[in-house]
Amino acid sequence: MLSGAEGARDPYKVYYDWFENEDLKRLRRKSVDAETFFRKIGITFNVYGQEEADERLIPFDIVPRIIAAREWAKLERGIEQRVRAINAFLYDIYHGQEILRAGRIPRTLISGNEAFCPEMIGVNPPGGVYTHICGVDLVRTGEDDFYVLEDNVRTPSGVSYMLENRETMLQMFPELFTQLKVRPVSSYPQTLRRSLSASAPGSSPNAAPVIAVLTPGIHNSAYFEHAFLADQMGAELVESHDLQIVDGRVAMRTTQGYQTIDVLYRRVDDDYLDPLTFNPDSLLGVPGIMDVYRAGNITIANAPGTGIADDKALYSYLPDIIEFYTGEQAILKNVPTWRCSEPDALSYVLSNLKDLVVKEVHGSGGYGMLVGPAASKKEIAAFEAKLRAKPANYIAQPTLSLSTVPILSKSGLAPRHVDLRPFVLVSPNKVEITPGGLTRVALKKGSLVVNSSQGGGTKDTWVLGD
């Protein structure tokens, strides 16, 4: 927010002047009001592996993160370039595999990868879209320095928090939205529905595409979001027992009998999607859905097998992937990455664990990672043993000097580290990026871990208009 002796940075000037004239006691009451609002409508997430308090309220900070129109324009260009390249990569990997033939990425990175889905080889998703919904995690290290931390193209979550954060701020501080030209995000559910409808198979018997959201059920950590998005889109929320194959199509049970589904926005992992194709013990999927999909009679968003593109080992090759499919240099930079499967890289990482961040290749939610500068000697020693046992399971990155934004602390404004997850919708003819996204904030002083499962919170993200 502040730029040394110069005072508030341009995007924050109006907000900072407003804040300076506000009563801190009133703002703290607003924070309590926000928490009450979130609790009332049930904005919670589940934490696995803990016996108590398995359902928690996600912390929300009332100081917005503000991004200038110029900054956002650069991010939009870089995100669209990245998402288009990922879609082209996925088509190639499941068809001609030209990038492997060209030697731009190692064949073993694909063939030995548990996220690669051989069942998708030769399958053409309706409209050629693999990643209908993407979340690209960004961090900032300087005024014009943005890095992509990771790509989320399996089943990215968090968009419901983005929408509810904005709704909360509109209710609590309407005067700010009259003073600042903040670009809206409320149309996301309608845009999502339109984007999914545009990706429906051409063979549909329905006059208008029928969309359903497949959830694993109420015990899933993101169930609130599944129900929220289905409601906001006007789509049906279904579980596996609501679905069956009828005349070569996926149909859902209704009070009038079974109705054909054209687009299934699934929030179930690949392995559980079809017990006849993947995990035979799964009770969360639909037996036979992959046969319907291969026949082109349903759109599954995101397509099975997309997880290979957000594999953290493959991440380090994204600049090459972008260049290979677009002929352009990557607009957004990657964080330098050591692949621990390589002997020289492993040696370097083992020698520098106290200075690095080490992540599981297939990890998510901030679990299974080591933040070297914040770890004890005992934690580092334990992680070293895991790393030596399965080096290919890990990548390592330097500890970046992440940007901070203010939170409202007991004493006033205080800096905390943040990342940003913009949400991207891809249809056959369009890439749409919601202006803003989910800002996740590390509420603990000095912490670099922003995940809600690890004590992080969220805040509203304001992208200013021109």
pLDDT at 43: 66
Looking at the chain, the whole-number percentage of residues with pLDDT higher than 70 is 95
Average pLDDT (294-315) is 94
Token output for 407: 């939170």
Neighbours of 202 (CB within 10 A): 7
Q: Hey, which CATH number is domain 338-398, 3.30.365.10, 1.10.3720.10, 3.30.1490.270, 3.10.580.10?
A: 3.30.1490.270
> Helix (H, G, I), strand (E, B), or coil: what is residue 271?
helix
Structure-model confidence comparison of residues 44 and 321, the more confident one: 321
Q: Which residues touch 6 (CB under 8 Å, ≥6 apart)?
A: none
pLDDT at 113: 86
pLDDT at 141: 87
Distance, in Å, from the CA atom of 372 to the CA atom of 357, rounded to the nearest integer, reads 6
264-278, 282-296, 339-353, 394-408, range with the lowest pLDDT: 394-408
Distance, in Å, from the CA atom of 64 to the CA atom of 462, rounded to the nearest integer, reads 7
Q: Among residues 79, 125, 138, which one has the least CA distance to residue 306?
A: 125
Task: Convert the pLDDT of each residue in 267-291 to its tens digit.
Answer: 999 999 999 999 999 999 999 999 9
pLDDT at 52: 46
Neighbours of 156 (CB within 10 A): 21
Q: Among residues 51, 274, 33, 77, which one has the least CA distance to residue 169?
A: 33
Helical ranges in 188-233 per DSSP H: 188-198, 223-233
pLDDT at residue 373 above 90? no
pLDDT at residue 318 above 90? yes
pLDDT at 53: 45
Q: Among residues 330, 376, 332, 320, which one has the least CA distance to residue 353?
A: 376
362-371, 372-381, 408-417, range with the lowest pLDDT: 362-371
What is the DSSP code (8-state) at residue 106? -
pLDDT at 40: 78
Distance, in Å, from the CA atom of 70 to the CA atom of 463, rounded to the nearest integer, reads 10
Q: How far is CA 38 from CA 7, 48, 462, in A?
A: 33, 21, 20
Task: Convert the pLDDT of each residue in 98-116 to its tens digit.
Answer: 999 999 999 988 988 889 9
pLDDT at 350: 95
User: For residue 142, what are the β-bridge partners?
Assistant: 145
- Residue pair 305/284 in contact (Cβ under 8 Å)? The answer is no
User: For residue 404, what are the β-bridge partners?
Assistant: 417
Task: Convert the pLDDT of each residue in 409-462 to its tens digit.
Answer: 888 899 999 999 999 999 999 999 999 999 999 888 887 777 766 668 999 999
What is the DSSP code (8-state) at residue 184? P
Average pLDDT (66-83) is 96
377, exposed or middle or buried, with CB in 10 Å at 0-12, 13-18, 19+? exposed
38 backbone dihedrals φ, ψ, rounded to 5° = -65, -40
pLDDT at 463: 98
Task: Convert the pLDDT of each residue in 112-146 to its tens digit.
Answer: 888 999 999 999 999 999 999 999 999 998 888 89
Task: Convert the pLDDT of each residue in 18-52 to its tens digit.
Answer: 999 999 999 999 999 988 888 777 665 555 444 44
In which band, very low, low, confident or very high, does the pLDDT at 364 lie, cut at 50, 70 and 90? low
Average pLDDT (295-308) is 96
Q: Which residues touch 36 (CB under 8 Å, ≥6 apart)?
A: none
Task: Convert the pLDDT of each residue in 180-205 to its tens digit.
Answer: 999 999 999 999 999 999 999 987 78
In which band, very low, low, confident or very high, does the pLDDT at 55 lie, cut at 50, 70 and 90? low
User: Where in the chain are the domains?
Assistant: 4-335+400-463, 338-398
pLDDT at 446: 80
Measured distance between the N- and C-terminal CA atoms of the chain, rounded to whole angstroms:
19
Name the residue with tokens 């369009």: 430
pLDDT at residue 83 above 80? yes
